[in-house]
C-alpha cells in the first residue's frame, strides 16, 4: 500500500512556486511523467527502508523454522 503522507509530500513539492512555474512552462522538469517519477521514486525509497528494517526479523524466523530439531523432542511426540 502506498503511504499517503509520502505521496502528499511529493505533491507538495510540486506546488512550490519554482516548481509550479516549471510545470506551467512545460519544461522537462515540469512534465507529468517527471511528477509521476518523483512520486514513484519516493515510494520506492520508503519501501526499501521498510523491507530493510524487516530483514532481521525474517532471517530470525527462517533460522527458527529450518533449524534442526532435537531428537529427544521427536521421540516424546511419538
What confidence category does residue 65 fall into, taking pLDDT thresholds of 50, 70 and 90?
A: very high
42 within 8 A of 35, measured Cβ to Cβ: no
Cell of 33: 511523467
Please, what is the angle between helix 17-25 and helix 4-14, to 10°? 70
The residue among 18 and 5 whose pLDDT is bigger is 18
Q: Is residue 21 domain-resident?
A: yes
Q: Is residue 74 domain-resident?
A: no
31 within 8 A of 40, measured Cβ to Cβ: no
Q: What percent of the chain has pLDDT over 70?
A: 51
Q: How large is the average pLDDT for residues 51-74?
A: 85
Q: What does the pLDDT read at residue 29?
A: 55
Instruction: Look up the domain containing 19 and give its range.
Output: 4-66
Q: Is residue 77 domain-resident?
A: no
d(CA 19, CA 57): 41
Total number of domains constituting the chain = 1
Chain segment 12-40, per-residue pLDDT in tens: 565 566 656 555 555 555 567 777 888 88
Q: Is residue 47 domain-resident?
A: yes
Amino acid at each position: 500500500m502506498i503511504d499517503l503522507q509520502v505521496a502528499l509530500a511529493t505533491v507538495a513539492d510540486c506546488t512550490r512556486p519554482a516548481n509550479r512555474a516549471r510545470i506551467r512552462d512545460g519544461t522537462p522538469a515540469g512534465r507529468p511523467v517527471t511528477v509521476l517519477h518523483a512520486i514513484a521514486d519516493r515510494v520506492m525509497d520508503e519501501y526499501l527502508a521498510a523491507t530493510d528494517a524487516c530483514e532481521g526479523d525474517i532471517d530470525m524466523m527462517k533460522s527458527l523454522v529450518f533449524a534442526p530439531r532435537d531428537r529427544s523432542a521427536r521421540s516424546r511426540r511419538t
